[in-house]
Chains A and B, each alone.
Chain A
Amino acid sequence: DIQMTQSPSSLSASVGDRVTITCRASQDISDYLAWYQQKPGKAPKSLIYGASSLQSGVPSKFSGSGSGTDFSLTISGLQPEDFATYYCQQYDSYPITFGQGTRLEIK
């Protein structure tokens, strides 16, 4: 199974900041990586697929990069609604696996 490791597990930031979350795969997954946002008590929301392509309706403040084993999600100009938990997911091969999540909190 492909292991997905996110760092950091939690992150404190202020409104207006720019933050980066990283995700590492235990083997090469090309660009078969997605990012999801989840707020407490809510379903996940799809943000990015193909490592860097934004889902429809997702603002350009979110950006993704990487390929192979190392990936990152960057959020610019943090707003209160961006404070949530973020998950990466590989869909290169079954079983599909998620990172453990990164909780983004307001400083």
Chain B
Amino acid sequence: EVQLVESGGGLVKPGGSLRLSCAASGFTFNTYYMNWVRQAPGKGLEWVSSISSSSSFIFYADSMKGRFTISRDNARNSLYLQMNSLRAEDTAVYYCARAMYSSSAKVDYWGQGTLVTVSS
């Protein structure tokens, strides 16, 4: 059974940093693209970033470029999102999402999400 479990969310002050993690199990992690998608309170889904299976290809939404860094550790079956220079508008639930095999952003499985709150 595919499982994606996010952690690392919490309350952080504007300008601060946070590192999210996603522990994957139930599939061969090192063969799939992975994504982060977020959802601000009461709002829709917003794609954040994608990373290829070997980390060779990485993509970011413009509003996160230069502040967020996606990475993965295939030996640990883990996906990460390092978030720096956080702003109030980054407050959201962050979902880890697996792309279907041979796809980059066609999601088939989602984690339960982790809440990030940016507030003073």
Contacts and interface: CB of A to CB of B under 8 A. Distances in A.
A49 B100 contact: yes
Given A91-B104, A96-B50, A98-B45, A44 B62 contact: no
A87 B106 contact: no
Contact of A34 (B44, B46, B106): B106
Contact of B105 (A43, A91, A100): A91
B110 A44 contact: yes
Chain B interface size band reads 20 to 34
B111 to A, nearest CB: 6
A43 B44 contact: no
Contact of B61 (A32, A50, A91, A95): A95
A56 B103 CA distance: 16
B107 A46 contact: yes
Given A43-B110, A44-B95, A46-B108, A96 B100 contact: no
A87 B44 contact: yes
A49 B47 contact: no
Interface in A42-90: 43-46, 49-50, 55-56, 87, 89
Interface residues of A, number: 23
Contacts of B59: 94-95
Contacts of B77: none
A50 B50 CA distance: 19
A3 B46 CA distance: 12
Nearest to B6: A43
Interface of A: 32, 34, 36, 38, 43-46, 49-50, 55-56, 87, 89, 91, 94-101
7 pairs of A and B residues whose beta carbons are closest in the complex: A96-B47, A91-B105, A43-B110, A98-B45, A96-B105, A101-B44, A94-B59
